[in-house]
Amino acid sequence: MHCVARLHNTLHNFFNNREINSITTTLLIFVSLYIAIITLLGENFLNPLADHINPTSTTSEDVTVRSIFVIFILLVAGIFAAKVSKALRLPPLFGCLALGIVIKNITVLDQFFVFPPFVETMIRKVALTMIVIRWGLATDVQFLYENAVMPVTIGLVSAVGEIIAVTIASYFILNISFVMSIFCSLILVTVSPAVTVPAMILFKEKSLGSLKRIPENVLAVCCVDNLFCVIIFMVLSSIIFTDAPIATTILLNAGTIVFGVIGGIILGWLLWRFPRSDAPHTQFARILLLGAISTALMIGTYLIKYSCSGFVAALIMSAMCAMKWKSDNKDKVECVESTYKYIWDSFALPLLFICLGMKFDCSTLTWEIVFLCIAVIAIGLLVRTIIVMLVTLSSHINFKEQVVVALSLLPRATFQADLAPTLLLMATPFPEKAQDAALIMKAAILSVLVTAPIFDILLNLVGLKCLTQYNPQDAPAIEKNFDKSYMNGDHVDETIYAARPKTFSEYRSETVIERY
């Protein structure tokens, strides 16, 4: 043990040296950027120029130039559509989605805005990477560790209940196969961070629900819900759409998830130390490293058919980085969070939802399909609401706060924009599944069109009305009332006790039953 400690101290002192740390950080940036660019372009890892040796061949270059030009026009139009949508008090993603639907259903525009399927897939994966980074940075790991029971219970129980309800509803109402009904449920039930997270951040800034940690609990519930649904979707898709034995596939997926967890922890630990917190341009290096490594993980594992491990690794790495970066220098993590928020709002969100809207062909749509899809969506939302209200009955939150928690889990947008096209792409070689996948795509787009604007407006209105604003000046009175009752052995006001944030020592002294 003494030798190990000496080796650890030696390595720590060596890499903590300012020059050595700077050189190592630069090397990590170049390596991560190389891997990210190679995976993003789909080139040969060891010899990326192998397919471009002939200088007289211009086919691939013409396609690349056209794709860049089309993406640029779509990006400008998407930003404008998002601004218009926001001015109308609607979520920005609604305007981008509507723009994509318009482009798809006007023949002239549909013929012009065309790019290769691989480019579209990469756009979706990069956008998903930005979501995962923002999700990880916003996750309070310490809070989730100390208060895991309530978020995990609400997230898992409500998600499983809605999955069962939507699976049964889609099987009987949409008349699709049972396997595709499960995929439909996994896509339709995933909560949207793009709608819920900004609302919770707003409530935290206004100190609404802070006494009972409502925003933190909702963010933790979303984390559990999204992680559960996405992992199940990825594992199930690798089982259904491959010819490998089921047992082998399950073992490989379980192994890759374990490797993803370990890899995420190692990479997060690495980014704790490179660059140093007091190094020049620390925030720039952190933004570049986090984005490049996450992109390489997400796209690289997708290309080798084990995207679940990359998803888990990128999420854990981002959450670990947030733990350390929140306190290790004066700028904390605000610069990194604001940068990725800007990237998401200005680049990823417009392109992601325009691409989703361009999958919505109105010529194949009938009113019957619309009503049937909305019926399935409504059944799932109703079941989710009932389950959340029932699960939170035994918690310390009151009825108004229960309504806010339930509303926060109803918007659908972000993962539907990636999972539904991914399912359609995987089902294309299977004619019997491709038709069901196309119908699921329509249901996913309708779920975004219906739930995103409605519940975004409702959540903000109800949250501002129902959540109690925390006043720090009232804290001493609450503490005094609580301490006096406790010390005298009198009856303790349970609402005050539940609302009062517990200290770490108080939390540890409670049993599991007392705590929840």
pLDDT in tens, 231-260: 899 889 888 888 778 888 888 888 989 999
66 domain-assigned:
no
Which of 38-42, 330-334, 348-352, 494-498 has the highest average model confidence (pLDDT)?
A: 348-352
Give long-range contacts, CB 8 A cutoff, 24+ apart: 498-505: 498/212, 498/396, 498/397, 499/211, 499/212, 499/396, 500/211, 501/211, 501/213, 504/146
Distances in whole angstroms, Cα of residue 4 to Cα of each of 8, 135, 265: 6, 36, 21
* 406's tokens: 């339930």
Question: What span, in angstroms and rounded, lies between the C-alpha atoms of 345 and 23?
Answer: 33
Say whether both 337 and 482 belong to one domain.
Answer: no
Which of 5-9, 67-71, 253-257, 383-387 has the highest average model confidence (pLDDT)?
A: 383-387
Non-local (6+) Cβ contacts of 345 within 8 A are 82, 92
Say whether both 372 and 496 belong to one domain.
Answer: no
169 domain-assigned:
yes
pLDDT band, very low/low/confident/very high, at 430 (cuts 50, 70, 90): confident
Least confident of 2-6, 359-363, 477-481: 477-481
88 domain-assigned:
no
Say whether both 442 and 487 belong to one domain.
Answer: no
Question: What span, in angstroms and rounded, lies between the C-alpha atoms of 445 and 443?
Answer: 6
Residues 128-144 have a mean pLDDT of 86
Question: What span, in angstroms and rounded, lies between the C-alpha atoms of 442 and 370?
Answer: 8
* H runs (alpha helix) in 362-430: 367-391, 399-408, 416-427
Residues 21-37 have a mean pLDDT of 84
b vs e for 32-70, b when ≥16 Cβ sit within 10 Å of the residue's Cβ?
bbebbebbeeeeeeeeeeeeeeeeeeeeeeeeeeebeee
Say whether both 431 and 506 belong to one domain.
Answer: no
Say whether both 249 and 127 belong to one domain.
Answer: yes
Residues 403-421 have a mean pLDDT of 91
Non-local (6+) Cβ contacts of 443 within 8 A are 170, 174, 184, 187, 188, 373, 376, 377
Say whether both 367 and 261 belong to one domain.
Answer: yes
| pLDDT attached to residue 53 | 45
pLDDT band, very low/low/confident/very high, at 7 (cuts 50, 70, 90): confident
Q: What is the mean pLDDT of the chain?
A: 83
- Residue 412: how many CB atoms within 10 A of its CB? 27
Which of 221, 150, 236, 260 lies closest to 512 in space, CA to CA?
150
Which of residues 502 and 450 earns the better pLDDT score? 450
| pLDDT attached to residue 473 | 57
pLDDT in tens, 47-71: 665 655 444 444 455 567 788 888 9
* 480's tokens: 């005094």
- Could you tell me if 133 and 339 are in contact, meaning their C-beta atoms sit under 8 angstroms apart? no
Question: What span, in angstroms and rounded, lies between the C-alpha atoms of 403 and 381?
Answer: 13
208, β-bridge pairs = 469
Which of 368, 359, 380, 378 lies closest to 440 in space, CA to CA?
359
The pair phi, psi for residue 441, each rounded to 5°, is -60, -45
Q: Is the pLDDT of residue 290 over 90?
A: yes
Say whether both 501 and 457 belong to one domain.
Answer: no
Q: Residue 42 carries which side chain, given as an amino acid letter?
A: G
pLDDT band, very low/low/confident/very high, at 507 (cuts 50, 70, 90): very low
For 398: left if phi > 0, alpha if psi spans -120 to 50, otherwise beta; the answer is beta
| pLDDT attached to residue 63 | 60
Which of 363, 403, 433 lies closest to 179 in space, CA to CA?
433
| pLDDT attached to residue 62 | 54
In Å, the largest CA–CA distance within the chain is 90
Q: Is the pLDDT of residue 498 over 60?
A: no
70 domain-assigned:
no
Structural domains counted in the chain: 2
57 domain-assigned:
no
* 353's tokens: 């939802």
| pLDDT attached to residue 499 | 43
pLDDT in tens, 166-179: 999 999 999 999 99
pTM: 0.81
Q: Is the pLDDT of residue 408 over 70?
A: yes
Q: Is the pLDDT of residue 86 over 50?
A: yes
- Could you tell me if 424 and 121 are in contact, meaning their C-beta atoms sit under 8 angstroms apart? no
pLDDT in tens, 269-282: 999 988 888 888 88
CATH number at residue 148: 1.20.1530.20
Say whether both 129 and 172 belong to one domain.
Answer: yes
Domain coverage including residue 307:
2-45+116-466
3-state secondary structure at position 469: strand
| pLDDT attached to residue 490 | 41
77 domain-assigned:
no
Question: What span, in angstroms and rounded, lies between the C-alpha atoms of 275 and 5?
Answer: 23
- Could you tell me if 482 and 500 are in contact, meaning their C-beta atoms sit under 8 angstroms apart? yes
Say whether both 137 and 18 belong to one domain.
Answer: yes
| pLDDT attached to residue 409 | 93
Say whether both 373 and 504 belong to one domain.
Answer: no
Say whether both 275 and 218 belong to one domain.
Answer: yes
pLDDT band, very low/low/confident/very high, at 358 (cuts 50, 70, 90): very high
- Could you tell me if 333 and 325 are in contact, meaning their C-beta atoms sit under 8 angstroms apart? yes
Non-local (6+) Cβ contacts of 351 within 8 A are 71, 74, 75, 78, 123, 127
Helix, strand, coil percentages for the chain (3-state, nearest 5):
80, 0, 20
54 domain-assigned:
no
pLDDT in tens, 95-105: 999 999 999 99
pLDDT band, very low/low/confident/very high, at 144 (cuts 50, 70, 90): confident
Residues 347-360 have a mean pLDDT of 92
DSSP 493: -
Say whether both 395 and 277 belong to one domain.
Answer: yes
174 domain-assigned:
yes
